[in-house]
Amino acid sequence: MAMTSTSPHSGRTIRMGRMTRHNLLMGLLFISPWLIGFLILTLYPIVASAYYSLTRYDAISPPEFVGLGNYVDLFTKNPLFWQAVGNTVYYAAIAIPLNICIAIGVALLLNMEVRGRSIYRTIFFLPSIVPDIAAAMLWAWILNPQFGLANAMLKALGLPTIGWLTDPDWSKPSLILINAWAFGGSVVIFLAALQDIPRQLYEAADLDGANAWVRTRYITLPMLTPVIFFNLINGIIGAFQYFTNAYVITGGQGGPAGSTTFYSLLLYRNAFSYFKMGYASAMAWILFAAVFVMTLLLFKSSGRWVYYEGGDNN
């Protein structure tokens, strides 16, 4: 927008300036719905939530400033907080790698030019669009300890039955299993990425006498790393917000014995059952910081293991 009258083509420069200003106005006009929404429904809430996290606030009487009291309380006096952190880390540490591994495995199989590929793809994809509430109800029934299908199948195979969602040791694996059923979206993405790998790479490897393992390890996997990276980031953000299935299946209780009280469930309970809005806001900010740090670390590490085609790894 700076208009330099010293320019030899000053007339032109001024016109460009007017053009720039026109473009700025048009640009802002076009993005204005989002911009207004961003200010009211994102930026203000972020600032407000940071402030609430320093207060005691029941959503009715005005917030009462308590400094870092909520944070201190969470970190030092609330065992449930640490249990929720533990549950969430447990869930993320198993569910994310598991889903990525299954998705890559299935995508590799589908990429072998198998017949009926689109039918298989449809079958694997469908569960991922089933509403959470319906999936939770269905799986609560399948995993019913007495009359459920899962235990009936175990019995038929001569295996001992499992308490599934009613057993504190099995409740998290059960939820991970339910989540794994809905892995289909990532299969589609991995399959597309596999089909994008240039054939010449494999042909060149064949000439060098590389076997299937070498081809997978040194061509396929490196070419998939950007998608793995994308899935990891999404998986982490998703796992720390994991809520619906656990909430629905346990009736909001996060049981048995707190074994499915995930971070977002505990946060929701503090905010909307106990109306401890300040306390819940502090939890939200701890979550925000944790997700931010992990995403940052992943981005920092990505230079070492994520391969971007065409080059400069930055």
Partner 1 sequence: MATVTSSTLSPSASRAGARARGVKKGLRKLPAYVLLTLLAILFTIPFAWLISTSLKDPKQIFVVPPEWIPNPFVWSNYPRSTTFIPFWRYFGNTLYVTLFNVIASVVVCSFVAYGFARIKWPGRNIVFLVLISTLMIPYPVTLIPTFLIFRDLGLVNTLNALTVPALFGSAFYIFLLRQFYLTIPQELSQAAKIDGASEFQIYWKIILPLAKPALAVVALFAFIANWNDFLGPLIFLNDKNNYTLAIGLYGFFGRSRTEWGLLMAAATLMISPVIILFFLTQRTFIEGITLTGLTG
Residues 126-155 that bind partner 1 (CB under 8 A): 126-127, 129-134, 137-142, 146-147, 149, 152, 155
| Helices within the chain (DSSP H only) | 10-38, 44-52, 69-72, 79-110, 117-125, 132-142, 149-156, 171-181, 184-196, 199-207, 212-215, 221-240, 244-249, 263-268, 277-305
Closest approach of Cβ 57 to partner 1, in Å?
9
Which range binds partner 1 by CB under 8 A, 48-56, 66-74, 168-176, 300-308?
48-56
Does 48 contact partner 1 by CB under 8 A? yes
Residues 6+ apart with CB under 8 A from 184: 124, 125, 126, 127, 128
The angle subtended at Cα 295 by Cα 74 and Cα 99, nearest 5°, is 95
Rounded to an integer, what distance in angstroms lies between the CA atom of residue 122 and that of residue 100? 18
Does 196 contact partner 1 by CB under 8 A? yes
Closest approach of Cβ 260 to partner 1, in Å?
16
Contact 53, 270 (CB under 8 A): no
Nearest to 232 by CA among 98, 71, 110, 38: 98
Rounded to an integer, what distance in angstroms lies between the CA atom of residue 88 and that of residue 241? 9
Does 123 contact partner 1 by CB under 8 A? yes
Binders of partner 1 among residues 150 to 189 (CB under 8 A) are 152, 155-156, 181, 185-186, 188-189
Binders of partner 1 among residues 58 to 87 (CB under 8 A) are 59
Closest approach of Cβ 101 to partner 1, in Å?
13
Which range binds partner 1 by CB under 8 A, 161-169, 203-211, 291-299, 306-314?
291-299
Residues 6+ apart with CB under 8 A from 46: none
List the one residue from 71, 90, 202, 243 that touches partner 1 (CB under 8 A): 243
Contact 145, 164 (CB under 8 A): yes
Interface size with partner 1, residues (CB under 8 A): 93
Which range binds partner 1 by CB under 8 A, 68-76, 161-169, 246-254, 300-308?
246-254
Binders of partner 1 among residues 21 to 40 (CB under 8 A) are 23-24, 26-31, 33-38, 40
